Structure 1
Amino acid sequence: MTETVAPTAAVLIIGDEILSGRTQDVNLNAIARFLGALGIDLLEARTVGDRQGQIVDALNALRRTHDYVFTTGGIGPTHDDITADAVGAAFGVPVAEHPEALAVLERRYGPGEFNAARRRMARIPQGGSLIANPVTDAPGFQIGNVFVMAGVPRIMEAMLQDVAPRLRAGAVVHARTIRVEGVGESAIADVLRAAAEARPDLSFGSYPFGFGGDGPIGTQLVIRGRGAAEVDAAEHDLSRELRYLGINLAVTSSSQV
């Protein structure tokens, strides 16, 4: 059953490797698509380094203002994997080996392979519940409205399978895209502004393309909203106004995002 008011979410990306440019983050895009399919509005994303104070401050700010917070990174076996300790500090609870996590990891590694570094991945803040990891078994965890997941994209996306049933879904957002070729944003700015003012409950976006020298220039106009009929009507009216101005529409498309 969906809700009238959409749940909201934020993402906290953790890792010096992201801020240094050594690693390119792709988890934000994956989480955004995952939440969009559930009708949950992703409203904010922050990136912080491997510094406990930064993580604690950001996490406390986000979890107080959003229904859900998703963190990625910093739950591995090395000394700089400090996310579990930071989350425990944010919630004011101790961090200790979780019996279930310990059992999962003991089964994963053979005799003599389950060393002290790997045991670190069984440390969970008190009151946390595990998030299954079908790729490497080392679990993430949930505490309150915070979901703590791996930074490796393949593992993080696999963890989302266990997260989905725990979330309250909202109405899915419908989108219509109008592709206009041969004109830039400035030529259609007034028409787009009038459309947005006429339907304040919808979102109207303008995204130019072709200015790098390859192919034609143009603009993609995207209309988004939770009412499919209203979005369809807005697409119809905007297309009609553009044609009235003599602007050719290359293609229109629809999706749920």
Structure 2
Amino acid sequence: MGAETSPTAAVLIIGDEILSGRTKDTNLNTLARFLGALGIDLKEARVVGDTRSQIVEAVRALSGSHDYLFTTGGIGPTHDDITADCVSEAMGVALPENAEALAILERRYGDELNDARRRMARIPEGGSLIANPVTDAPGFQIGNVFVMAGVPKIMTAMLDDVAPRLRVGAVTHARTLKVDGVGEGDVADLLSAAADAHRSLSFGSYPFGHGTVGEYGTQLVVRGRDAAALSAAVEALREAVETTLADRGVRVSEV
């Protein structure tokens, strides 16, 4: 992993409520954008329920194959909040009550700090806290694993404390060409040729409208870390599309 030009990351989303469809996950999108802005390549994402064996296996696998692992969900006060237990097992460490976390919870809840809420003070041995400016109950980091809340507002707020701890990489740039009135099949060969000619960049096509009445076409997205190479590839692709499909009056614009 250390030989990578930019760090790699994985996301583990935890919760039966996600798999059942009762709760819609937005944390993956937030994390993807957060990591992309730091030049960290998000390579993998998994969703597991509140099942101990699945969480432990996923933490071991993902933390071992990527520079960073970010988990969301399962760190609240109820019986099914078992993420801390699972991470401590996966990392092979104890799960004691953390004095700093307990002090935070005592300030927050006072006389209402019951046994259920006190569970949130258990932090894997050797871990450091992740600040929670919304409800105070902290997340934690142990090794390359960052454990955060599942509630999107809280998870997003925690990222302010996470960001300074990360090794950043080269940011990936993206540009998009909008080709009106043609489907993916009409530009597939051109896109393949462009990808062959510019192997340091990635190329993708995304249809819109799907041939229905009204506006439809294909968006061509080119991504890469070298801004100059990206610009040259985009202009070459634009010219190839306009030249090849000139007889159809195809319009290409950048969006």
**1 CA distance for matches of 2:22 and 2:31?**
21
Instruction: Tell me the residue number matched to 1:101.
Output: 101
* TM-score when normalising by structure 1: 0.95
Instruction: Tell me the residue number matched to 1:142.
Output: 141
Task: Give 5+ residue unaligned stretches, structure 2.
Answer: none
Instruction: Tell me the residue number matched to 1:17.
Output: 17
Deviations 1:234-257 (A, max 9, x none): 00000000110216334213xxxx
Counterpart check, 1:249 vs 2:230: no
- After superposing the two structures, state which structure 1 stretch, 235-244 or 215-224, moved more: 215-224
Instruction: Tell me the residue number matched to 1:197.
Output: 196
What code does the residue aligned with 1:58 have?
A
Please report the RMSD computed on the Cα atoms of aligned residues, expressed in angstroms: 1.3
Deviation at 1:109, TM superposition (A): 1.1
Instruction: Tell me the residue number matched to 1:8.
Output: 8
Q: How many residues align?
A: 250
Counterpart check, 1:164 vs 2:163: yes
- Give the direction of change, closer, same or farther, for the CA distance of 1:126–1:221 in structure 2 (3 Å limit): same
Task: Give 5+ residue unaligned stretches, structure 1.
Answer: none
Deviations 1:130-175 (A, max 9, x none): 0000000000000000000000000000000000000000010011
What code does the residue aligned with 2:204 have?
G
In 1, are the aligned partners of 2:13 and 2:46 still within 8 Å (CA)?
yes
Higher normalized contact order (CA 8 Å, seq sep 6+, divided by chain length): 1
In 2, are the aligned partners of 1:195 and 1:238 still within 8 Å (CA)?
yes
Deviation at 1:128, TM superposition (A): 0.5
Instruction: Tell me the residue number matched to 1:28.
Output: 28
Instruction: Tell me the residue number matched to 1:45.
Output: 45
In 2, are the aligned partners of 1:13 and 1:72 still within 8 Å (CA)?
yes
Deviations 1:60-96 (A, max 9, x none): 0101110000000000000000000000000111101
Deviation at 1:215, TM superposition (A): 3.6
Deviation at 1:213, TM superposition (A): 3.7
* TM-score when normalising by structure 2: 0.95
Give the structure with the larger strand fraction. 1
SS of 2:34's equivalent in the other structure is helix
SS of 1:204's equivalent in the other structure is strand
Deviation at 1:211, TM superposition (A): 1.9
Instruction: Tell me the residue number matched to 1:76.
Output: 76
In 2, are the aligned partners of 1:239 and 1:249 still within 8 Å (CA)?
no
Deviation at 1:214, TM superposition (A): 6.4
Consecutive aligned runs of 4 or more in structure 1 exceeding 4 Å deviation = none
Instruction: Tell me the residue number matched to 2:217.
Output: 218
Identity %: 68
In 1, are the aligned partners of 2:101 and 2:137 still within 8 Å (CA)?
yes
In 1, are the aligned partners of 2:211 and 2:217 still within 8 Å (CA)?
no
**1 CA distance for matches of 2:23 and 2:203?**
32
What code does the residue aligned with 1:169 have?
V
SS of 1:196's equivalent in the other structure is helix
SS of 2:96's equivalent in the other structure is strand
What code does the residue aligned with 2:23 have?
T
SS of 2:19's equivalent in the other structure is helix
SS of 1:109's equivalent in the other structure is helix
**1 CA distance for matches of 2:65 and 2:234?**
33
